[in-house]
Amino acid sequence: MFRAISNSIRLARAARELGRHDALFPLELRREMPKLLLMLLPLAKIRLPWEEEPEHIEGSVGERLAVALANLGPSYIKLGQFLATRPDVIGADLAADLTSLQDKLPPFPAEEARRIIAEDLGKPVDELYESFSEAIAAASIAQVHHARTMPEPETQQGGAEETPADIAEPIEAAHEAGAEEVVEALDVSAEETAPDRGLDVAVKVLRPNVEARFADDLDSFFWAAETIERFYKPARRLRPVEVVQTLADSVRLEMDFRLEAAAISEMAQNTANDVGFRVPDVDWERTARRVLTIEWVDGIPASDRDALVDAGHDMKALGRQVIQSFLTHALRDGFFHADMHQGNLFVDADGVLVAVDFGIMGRIGPHERRYLADILMGFLLRDYPRIADVHFEAGYVPRTKSRHAFAQALRSIGEPIWGKSLGELSMSRLLSQLFQVTEQFDMRTRPELILLQKTMVVVEGVARHFDPDHNIWESAEPVVKEWITDQATPEHRLEEAAAGAVQMGRVLANLPDILERAERATRLLADNVDDQGVKVHPGSLKSESRIHPALWLIAGALIALLAVAIF
């Protein structure tokens, strides 16, 4: 009861903020709303004496919603950003509007950041960093400071102010000869070679008390999702509790910077030999749960197109590189940066893309990668029956549905986009059509693929920013073809067979337990059957309810496989 009351109060506060910005009962959707719900509209717009008049926002429902969520604070900003990745839940148009939700908040005092760093790293900031700036960027979960690490101990012993002997003598000789240009060059050389400076780094620090605030708001989200699932059956297909659980897992990962450092390290290993893309180095000695220290990226922000053009960078090449890098990470590695917008990309002096902020990462397994590649290749070849076959073989579409009808629906999506430049293509409209198809054919939503699709839209936006006439299909085709070709090589087939053998060994090792659990469940059922039928209480099989119906089939198949192998 207390949980219901406390969550109701928190959600009522959020509802009022949404109502004040006309995002709770949007004018555009009122005709579709129940009349009983509309009776609450005046309550949502009441302004208390201490509240400011809400800013009048022109624009779509999504734009007004973004403003309201930003006003509600860190948890709701993250909720909005997460919902932007779930067009299957809120609709493609609303999701597209929420992608513009800016995760920016006022910074907290640098002294508070220093306290957190000292607590987590066990040393005061002055012993860890030679310099430490005020916050240069602040978001809902953390803020970033520019710092320089302390010089290495051996260089400090040598004296930071001393000029190396092999450089000092030529400088003195040049002074005596009056060769000012030589002196200047040698002075610069001395500065560059003197090993008495630390490294420039970016230090990310978790906001104080942000974990407790998120815990309260996430509990409210769970309670709302559970209530919706219980009383509104049409929403069950979208699995709102699972949606909130995914958000909670994402936030938990984002609030432990050791995990973000691990993600950077994994992507660095994956992309070590890639051309045109890299990630910063991690300073593990200055990284802990609430503190992350990485290499300072010296480059031009991807958002500053004019500066990139002035610096002489090839904008068409950058557009191609961002698309191909993303697809390579997704297909080859199954691990990709899921928040690769312009603000998280820099271009260094060599034209290499450098990604930052690895708080949100996506991961897809080999099966999903094959599915993705087959779909992309199907669209590239305009082979819609092939795409339909992939969906049915993967079990994403129930076999009771018509393959021909599904292929026809896919054709209605694919043909209008064929041959068009990215500037002519509306990804929002494309995703809207895709999710309409999933609803028509009873496809279950797959969060990892939806996150991939959302990220692809964002990455395409970056490509359009670099090169408005960029064609995504031309950039995607070589990456997809190369991956599919690699999958067909004998070496890869052997790797798959070896992996399958290892997995089979694990299943065989667990076979006795599988059989025992299945037998226990069957015996329990048999003991509770009489002439009247099954007399088991709904709760009596609770401990066995997790047993998949296919356990006996798996066991039977394994036994048959062993029999063939033996005889």
DSSP state for residue 238 in the 8-state scheme:
G
User: Which 3-state string (H, E, C) describes 247-291?
Assistant: HHHHHHHHCCHHHHHHHHHHHHHHCCCCCCEECCCECHHHCCCCE
Grouping H, G, I as helix, E, B as strand and the rest as coil, residue 136 is strand
Select from 445, 514, 376 the least CA-distant residue to 85: 445
Between CA 185 and CA 190 the distance in angstroms is 9
Angle value at C-alpha 451, between 253 and 262, nearest 5 degrees: 30
Residue 145: CB partners within 8 Å, gap ≥ 6?
110, 113, 132, 133, 134, 135, 136, 202, 203, 205
Between CA 46 and CA 20 the distance in angstroms is 8
Between CA 522 and CA 544 the distance in angstroms is 10
Cross-strand partners of 138: 143
- Backbone region of residue 353 per phi and psi (left: phi > 0; alpha: psi in -120 to 50; beta: other values): beta
Catalytic residue list contains 339: yes
**What torsion do the CA atoms of 327, 332, 338, 343 make, to the nearest 10 degrees?**
-60
The single residue of 339, 357, 374, 467 carrying the catalytic annotation is 339
Tokens of 160: 């930071």
Q: How many angstroms from the chain centroid is the CA of residue 385?
A: 31
**H-run or E-run covering 292:** strand 291-295
Between CA 239 and CA 323 the distance in angstroms is 31
Backbone angles phi, psi at 338, to 5 degrees: -100, 15
The residue with tokens 């031309």 is: 474
Residue type, 109: P
Give buried/exposed letters for 199-226 (b at 16+ CB in 10 A, else e): bebbbbbbbeebeeebeebbbbbbbbbe
The residue with tokens 């699709």 is: 453
Tokens of 472: 């995504």
Residue 534: CB partners within 8 Å, gap ≥ 6?
525, 528
The secondary structure of 453-498 as a DSSP string is HHHHHHHHHHHHHH-TT--HHHHHHHHHHHHHHHHTSHHHHHHHHH
Between CA 358 and CA 339 the distance in angstroms is 8
Residue type, 139: A
Residues with a known catalytic role? 339
